[in-house]
Structure 1
Amino acid sequence: MSAGTGNHHIEPGRATGRVTACIAHPAQADGIVPHAFALAKALDAPVTLLQVLEGERAPARPDPIEWDMRRHEARRSLACLAIPRDPSMGRADIELADGAAVDEIRRVILDHPDGLLVMGLQEQDSSRCRGIGSTVHNLLHAAPSSIMLVPALAAEAPLNGYRRILVPVDGSPWAASALPLAVRLAKQSGAQLVLAHVIPSPEFTETGPFDTADLTLRQSVLDRNIRTARIYLDQLHRAVADLDISVRTVVAQGDDVRSTLEQLIRTEAADLVILSARGHGLLANTEMSYGSVAGYLMTHATVPLLVVPTAFNSDHSAVLQHPQDLRLPMFASA
């Protein structure tokens, strides 16, 4: 469909991937597995429960009898978790692996490159430095797959599917690359999409109090950015609404984009956030696997985050150049 015409045709794709729930600790399983099933139901995909048994950090392998007992107990626990709450869904496959968690999860990604991962985020202690853990960090850096990160404090996965999905966009093609997956999930589960754009306060070099001209210019820049954001969101709104999906747009303004987005997630009562790992900042630094906004939400949001990896394309003007070119992906492509 060429740009500039009002009519466009969007072909729904068929899900061909696999949702793999990576269970690091049994205590995390009750929070992770239901979200894996909810995601798989919306995408018509099979589920695998993966647990990696890592030996003690010592040269010698653990006692064989103790190791067999651990494997037996882990398999028994996974077998119980493999039964979905929704009777219309099939049981999950279970897989046990020995070795380093990052290496074994990477192997799964190579076996199912079009799949999705579901992982838990460690519970954050406000008295210590917040972090996402080395396994999640390394996978975000190396994995081509989208990864759902489930916070320790996240609510239980909805039995009837996600109802409100928030997608942050910043006008860049990389942030918009999360839209195809969001569209597919919303279409399949009947969820409402909330497209959110946060406009930061214009930054001026400050050596003293602003004079009247400074304040006027600052407000003029802010007004211009708000107008541009609304035009952009209106385009996305029309493209998504044409798919028969309920969609809302939100323009917010704040000094800190990250904390403003966190507040929006709460006020919009989103039960899932789908976002690209990178946005506008990718132009300044192509080495980082995820940006400051994604990193902040990983350690502050209390709802699951579905992080879509970002592939840098030097011809960025050609990526999602026209919002009407949205396509439903085969599975989780971005």
Structure 2
Amino acid sequence: MKLLVTGGAGFIGSNFVHHVVEHTDHRVTVLDKLTYAGNRASLAGLPEDRVAFVRGDIADAAVVDSLVADADAVVHYAAESHNDNSLHDPRPFLDTNIIGTYTLLEAVRRHGVRFHHISTDEVYGDLELDDPERFTESTPYNPSSPYSSTKAGSDLLVRAWVRSFGVQATISNCSNNYGPYQHVEKFIPRQITNVIRGIRPKLYGAGLNVRDWIHADDHSSAVLTILEKGRIGETYLIGADGEKDNKTVVELILTLMGQDPDAYEHVTDRAGHDLRYAIDSSKLREELGWMPKYGDFEAGLRATIDWYREHEDWWAPSKDGVEAFYAEKGQ
């Protein structure tokens, strides 16, 4: 197949492109705006006869139309995705997550192209820390930030285009990703690179907020499985049973990096910080036969630490700016 991957120079998008090249014979065109979160270096070393790159905006209908017309399927990763940034300036989240998704949907409708939409478990809001339940495909949407609300809106657009116009689309909502090529503003790489730089890691509030962690390579394999086997119009939740509170994650990072597990600082909590996310991925596993490779969070985290140690040239250029931004906020 010829795949158009939007946001393919970003974190999970670039991991997906690497996964496709390694595990299939598909050819890939990456469409990426190269905002601060996109990095051409994340695609370095991939074969030029398999991977093409186009710099452009998913909200630019002319650019999108020509690329979709030449594709067999679109895998839509491109999104503004950082909660802190959405609280600071919500407008880019509307432009990319809503208008950008609409533009892609209109293009795949015109050309009859298969569409897979990448979303987040944050559209469901959060769970109480002691709640035995987990998110399922039938959990009502209850987003709590400009980021998650615009992702929820984009999901609903996809559902409407399937029902109203017969677009051949599927949706996946995934839990928190970690792994190579993740921007250092994000929780896990920020703490890893802090330790590498000799800076004490930072923990929001008491660190009791729980996230359901999944390695980006497992997310990639799940998306490829849905693209190949998923039922049109269906939503699949992707998770690896990796529930950990932030305090545990920071302490594990410190331990794996040979530091005192208490060598971190508590900082001002994020406004509206969701308490707990938890994914029930039974539908994906039972219907499509998918299983995660990194069922052991510690093993995945160790591999991620090794990657950041070996690729300081990739993350160092943005590190100082990120820390200066958070320092102004007392975080």
- TM-score higher than 0.5 here? no
Query: Which structure shows the bigger proportion of residues in helix conformation?
Result: 2
TM-score by length of 2: 0.31
Question: Which structure has more RCO (C-alpha within 8 Å, separation ≥ 6)?
Answer: 1
Larger Rg: 1
TM-score by length of 1: 0.31
